[in-house]
Structure 1
């Protein structure tokens, strides 16, 4: 007992000593008016610049010379924003059944920039994700659940459903001498896609379960073709993305249906087509039917919509970068001021275990920054989203969990930056040098990567290996391999997953703090 009790007492004293050290550092922070004002200013900057940006952002669409409100983006079964623009030739299907067809041709057209005013330039060609195939869809309403088996322009046969899900089948194209047979069956709420080279030997491509699918659905042939994305380099090395109009035509024959209600004339729906002021369809799809041969032409895409169609949630945080710079200045000052005024010796005399001094400072500045940032961001995001919607802006819907991750993650981004800046202040012991260094390793790479002044590969490299990777925590819209889009930092897409990017920043902060502790143990000032 005599040997155990002192150990426990010493352990308790150590804990109490660190608690007193934390309290002392917190007291230092809250009693220095400049630091408190600076931290408050960082919150006001996040909120103020976000409100200013939202208030100045307005959106409308044009029909000829007339400005009209933009139509709302359709949402899929999972609540995500989607593109649902296709030409569908269909019949009703009640209960179980299926459709089989042979695809003998998939061709397309791409419109190029006009060489001369009024002279259209259209060339033959298919974009990689042009699609033609078979579909079962709950209804012809945009965003309704569906499953489809199809041939694509450059990615072979695919089984896709509910806009975000994609399964690859056999690669290759199609021709009159090498047709592709497709089959799509329904059994309850399960849809299964098959492919065959000859209509006899069938291979399953994939299956999809669509819970809640009604007894009667639409079943038939479809075609669609997303824009032709071209990315060019500007004079500074950055990227400029442009999408050109395309259409795709799939030619089917040997079309057969089985199941209840799959009889009668074919219906035709140009789902999602836009119209001019006089009601004329803009870039309509079409069907040419002759002797059991169906040539289906479609425009658009069936898949998730990205940041090029509407504003993501994180656009409300335009002030976070400026607020982060204010945080850097405050965090560096929290430690550099003691070196500048010679107070570090007094601090170390009060706490001889020097490493704990920096750890306590890091916990205090990190906690204060996180709490301040969380309050600012939690107010900024919902208020700015409300203003943006009132101004006619389209907002990409996200789950409550994703929105919470953006809010909490941004606060964590600010807090990790504060710890890194504090560690740099302890390493360099000169406020100006530490502030400049922190801005150079966090803010500058982010600005260079997101302003189209660097080639895409370099921009993505910066956001993988520098502390600026932490900004990935703000990304709310995922990338989808089955959607051709300009997945670049300037569009809000980061090369690392959200939490992985934040982990990179935290690793830099931990490394810098560790180096600062080592230096402090070797030398006071």
Structure 2
């Protein structure tokens, strides 16, 4: 039966052309996001100690520490400003603005570190190596005493309200050399907010921000170099400076950096900074695009596959040929199973082949045209490629089952495309974020989560929405939703095919 169904499929030229067209559409649309350029080589992001791309930009006042030791400081004030439109700003800290103490493997962006910090709205935190975050106590933002200690390979973060009674926030063991840079830092990421527009549709607004913190009672234990150095770590216009005799900044030649500065007088340090120390994300508040963008043509390539899947059975209904097939094979379930194996297998092969070509080609074109693409590990890319094959295979079998139930090609196509492609398009471009998440969690379009490459971090503010590559379900969960719809439809098709007359 499988051989017979395969013969039917490959001998209908229109079906073969449609399947080939689906493959070409997946590959062709992979280059569409690279049509314009917004970034050059200066926007490339550093790679963190664990292989992820990271953002590492902050104002740093520091000195060298050799061996074990500690730094203690009191944060007496922490304020900020954020963009409020063209030429305007408003006071206020963004939720993940950071001010505190940091120990770092030199000043190279992306190098290993551990830090204890106050945040704009999330209390005291300890973070290390960009992707690790430990929550400390909440309460009044300032004044707060912070301490960062090194004992061998272990870094310990502590906080105090009065400088006498200390509470441990957390410990970490980043891969740090014996000689490190330790000091004060301030940074403030871009802010992004969901705004409501006409007819309830959601959009994004936001912009750059800065934070300013004042430190006093700065003290060290251990072997440290004399004198402070101050500089902007990372960012497109990072400049460095050396503290003068009174601690005031003496800039080295370079482009001005009005949003990042520091000063020190009578043991009181004031730092203003922007940027972030965090894993890189894609989206409205992130940098670049996710690799998922290269598979944007999947929903287009899905259409001809669904057409062929439905017509594999509806064409026989229309021409009365299914009666001949069932006369040769009275066990009707075997006929439907054979059709499912053939169309599902072909769709899976085309999906894997299309995705395997689309991801590297689309990434190369986007980067070649000046767009930044957040890199994805090889394991993620393999999962995306295989997931695309499963997505197309299940959709094709789903179309076959619906076609068997309704026995009309136009009705089957309308139903399947209305449950897969349409919800995807609406969630990406029209529906409010929460509604779009709900749609992509309950309809067969949930299976597009198999193509997600971006990682969502609870400690990085961003608009984690489908249009930015973030789906409400994990990849296996999204495929499970489509599988459930397919199983229900296929079961109904088996029951109806076995009970009713063929007309």
Q: What's the TM-score once normalised by structure 1's chain length? A: 0.88
CA–CA distance in structure 2, aligned partners of residues 524 and 242 of structure 1: 59
Q: Take 1:414 and 1:236, find their aligned partners in 2: how far apart are those partners?
A: 34
Contact 1:79/1:397, CA 8 A, preserved across alignment: no
Aligned to 1:103: 75
- Structure-2 change in CA distance of 1:408 and 1:283 (3 Å): farther
| Candidates 425, 429, 432, aligned match of 2:403 | 425
Other-structure match for 1:135: 102
Give, in whole Å, the separation in 1 of the partners of 2:46 and 2:254: 20
Match of residue 218, structure 1, among 163, 174, 181: 181
- Cα distance in 1 for residues equivalent to 2:179 and 2:101: 17
The yes-or-no answer on 1:454 pairing with 2:421 is no
Q: Which residue number in structure 2 is paired with residue 354 of structure 1? A: 332
Q: Is the 8 A contact 1:97 1:258 kept in 2?
A: yes
Measure, in 2, the Cα distance between the counterparts of 1:129 and 1:60: 25
Q: CA deviation at 1:276?
A: 10
Q: In structure 2, how many angstroms separate the alpha carbons of the residues matched to 1:182 and 1:165?
A: 19
Structure 2 CA distance for aligned equivalents of residues 403 and 26 of structure 1: 30
> What is the root-mean-square deviation of aligned Cα atoms in Å?
1.9
Do the aligned partners of residues 98 and 394 (structure 1) sit closer, same or farther apart at CA in structure 2, a change above 3 Å counting?
same
Map residues 146-157 of structure 1 onto 2, 5 A cutoff: 146-157=113-124
Conserved? CA contact 2:116–2:157, under 8 Å: yes
- Rounded Cα–Cα distance in structure 1 between residues aligned with 2:120 and 2:491: 53
CA-CA distance at 1:326 after TM superposition = 0.9
> CA 1:154–1:412 in structure 2 vs 1: closer, same or farther (change >3 Å)?
same
- Shift in Å at residue 240 of structure 1? 2.1
The DSSP-based 3-state class of the residue aligned with 2:72 is: strand
1:187 lines up with 2:151 in the alignment: yes
Aligned equivalents of 2:329 and 2:69: distance in 1? 78
Contact 2:43 2:236 in 1 (8 A): no
1:274 aligns with one of 230, 236, 256: 236
SS at match of 2:70: strand
User: Partner of 2:420: helix, strand, or coil?
Assistant: helix
Equivalent in 345, 364, 367 of residue 342 of structure 2: 364
The alignment partner of 2:183 has SS state of: strand
Correspondence for 2:89: 122
**For 1:367-416, what per-residue CA distance to the aligned partner results, in whole angstroms no more than 9, with x for missing partners?**
11101121122122212222222222211011100111111111211111
State the match for 1:379 in structure 2: 357
1:463 matched residue in structure 2: 440
Tell me, in whole angstroms, the C-alpha distance in 2 between the residues paired with 1:361 and 1:89.
Answer: 68
Gaps of 5+ in 2: 240-252
TM-score computed with the length of structure 2 as normaliser: 0.92
2:294 counterpart residue number = 316
Change beyond 3 A, Cα 1:406–1:283:
farther
The aligned counterpart of 1:74 is: 46
Q: Please list every run of 5 or more consecutive structure 1 residues that lacks an aligned counterpart in the other structure.
A: 1-20, 62-68, 115-119
User: CA–CA distance in 1 between the matches of 2:501 and 2:35?
Assistant: 51
The answer (yes or no) to whether the contact 1:147–1:191 under 8 Å persists in 2 is yes
The residue number in structure 1 matching 2:278 is: 303
Number of the residue aligned with 1:4: none
| d(CA) in 1 for partners of 2:446, 2:153 | 42
SS of residue matched to 1:281: coil
